[in-house]
Amino acid sequence: MPPDRLPPAAHAAPSGSHAVPSGGDGPARRAAGRAVTALTLWWACSPVLLVLGLVAGLHTRGASAPAAALTWAAIGGVVLAPPAGLVTALATGHRPARRRFAVMAAVSVAAAVLVLLFNEFAAECPGGAGC
């Protein structure tokens, strides 16, 4: 039988990790899928945005609006994307996205802790005082 003549069950997603949960494949489900993808890409691009913001800030004197925008977009991607994606995935029942955003949140927290530790240990001692 040609592929276009197969019954509707043959076109359904496999029962693997990317199966569509009960709720169909309506416009709301597709919009949620796009939001999950956008939040994932925002989080994944955050290190690149941070480096670009730092490089843009180094090549300008004083405050630079593009450098600040890139830096804040990077920080927002690390801080806001995992919780927003987790809420979206929970609302739509997208199980692989829930796991992905949970891992992203753990990596973001670990990176933030490392940045805070580096900031604490890299602080200079004031006026030659022993640290």
Tell me what pLDDT residue 87 has. Answer: 93
Q: Consecutive 10-residue runs of the chain (131 residues): their mean pLDDT?
A: 55 48 69 91 93 84 82 92 92 89 94 87 66 58
| Sign of the CA dihedral running 64, 67, 70, 73 | negative
Tell me what pLDDT residue 20 has. Answer: 45
Tell me what pLDDT residue 8 has. Answer: 54
Tell me what pLDDT residue 116 has. Answer: 85
| Sign of the CA dihedral running 116, 102, 49, 62 | negative
C-alpha–C-alpha distance, residues 125 and 127, integer Å: 7
Q: Helices 81-92 and 95-121 meet at what angle, rounded to 10?
A: 160
C-alpha–C-alpha distance, residues 118 and 131, integer Å: 15
